Structure 1
Amino acid sequence: MISHLVKQKIAEVDVDQLWENTLPEVAASEDRLRSLEARLGYALDSQHRAFLLHANGWRAFKQCVDVFGADDFEGGPRAARAIELIESLEPLEPLCGFGKGDLLPIAVSSDDIDVMVMTRPHTTTPGKVLWLAGGLIDTFPGFDEWFLAMVDYNRREYQRLLKKHGS
């Protein structure tokens, strides 16, 4: 997967150790995802589900942004942080066209105000990803497009670090 390679290249040039070098978590099982979907009351977006079957979350995927694993959807510190950040933006509808009940957090920064959310199946645009950080930063038609954009941001960080250290 290209995302692994990009993270590895960042680690090679990040001589100041600005960013934590991590790999994705071990894949979620089909049974684990079915259990999660039963608790949520709906099927996960197919692109997002495919990611979880490959990697059950990824801590520090993009700098300090953690991509949720199945356990994060049922509580814990990442979920609490995401909810806190989303609630700080209330009312959401004027900001992004969706209410809190329309959104499922999928990633959150451990040290900044960034939170990524996906629209739930009952919305007019299910599976859309919104990047929120004090406001609406960007939107993506689906999980795959969001993930690839984050990989591109990581590639830019690699280029920046490479240039900074003259390698």
Structure 2
Amino acid sequence: MDRDSEISAMVSAKRLLRDADREALWRHDGPRSPATEQAVRQAEEAIGFPLGNEYSSSLMKADGWPAILQEIDLFGCPDLTGAAFSTASADLGYLEHHAAEAAGLLNTDMKEAHRR
């Protein structure tokens, strides 16, 4: 399935969830407009490592998605350079490095940034 089809399927699923949420317990936001290549490059520069091809191409289809799953946000370029990313990074900093690496949570670029 291509990225556009995946997003379309997710939007349809979110609509079904919204319709079933009769008590309005959750947010039902849609995906943001696509990011530009320049916005992706600026985000990468701000965080100090490349985002990877798959994530970068995803951002150029939808620049993040607030409340993609209940209260979980899929970060877009503005989020990666803001307070939410800093907070998430600080929280992840509490994990011991080798535990995060063993769990496969660190890609090569993130390992290099962690060593600095």
Which bracket does the TM-score occupy, shorter chain normalised? 0.7 to 0.9
- Secondary structure of 2:109's counterpart equals coil
Q: Superposition RMSD on alpha carbons, in Å?
A: 2.4
Code of the residue aligned with 2:28 in structure 1: it is: N
- 1:91-110 deviation line (CA, Å, top 9, x unaligned): 2423x326xxxx9xxxxxxx
1:97 is aligned to 2:104? no
Q: Which runs of 5+ in 2 are unaligned?
A: 1-7, 112-116
Take 2:86 and 2:109, find their aligned partners in 1: how far apart are those partners? Answer: 23
Percent identity over the alignment? 22
- Residue type at the aligned position of 1:7: K
Q: Which residue of 2 aligns with 1:43?
A: 50
Alpha-carbon offset, residue 120 of structure 1: 3.3
Which stretches in structure 1 are left out of the alignment for 5+ residues? Answer: 104-117, 125-167
Aligned residue in 1 for 2:37: 30
Contact between 1:42 and 1:121, CA under 8 Å: does it hold in 2?
A: no
Aligned runs of 1:1-167 on 2, under 5 Å? 1-76=8-83, 78-87=84-93, 89-94=94-99, 96-97=100-101, 119-122=106-109
Q: Number of aligned pairs? A: 103
1:65–1:72: structure 2 CA closer, same or farther, 3 Å change rule?
A: same
Distance in 1 between residues matched to 2:23 and 2:87, nearest whole Å:
27
- 1:46 Cα deviation after fit: 0.9
| Counterparts of 2:49 and 2:95, CA distance in 1 | 25
One-letter amino acid of the structure 1 residue matched with residue 107 of structure 2? R
Q: Flag the structure with more relative contact order, 1 or 2, with Cα contacts below 8 A and sequence separation at least 6.
A: 2
SS at 1:54's partner residue?
coil
8 Å CA contact retained: 2:50, 2:109: no
Distance in 2 (CA, whole Å) between partners of 1:42 and 1:93 is 19
Distance apart, 1:74 and its partner CA: 1.6
With the length of structure 1 as denominator, give the TM-score of the two structures.
0.53
Kindly provide the amino acid, as one letter, of the partner of residue 34 in structure 1: R
Name the structure where helix makes up a greater proportion of residues.
Answer: 2
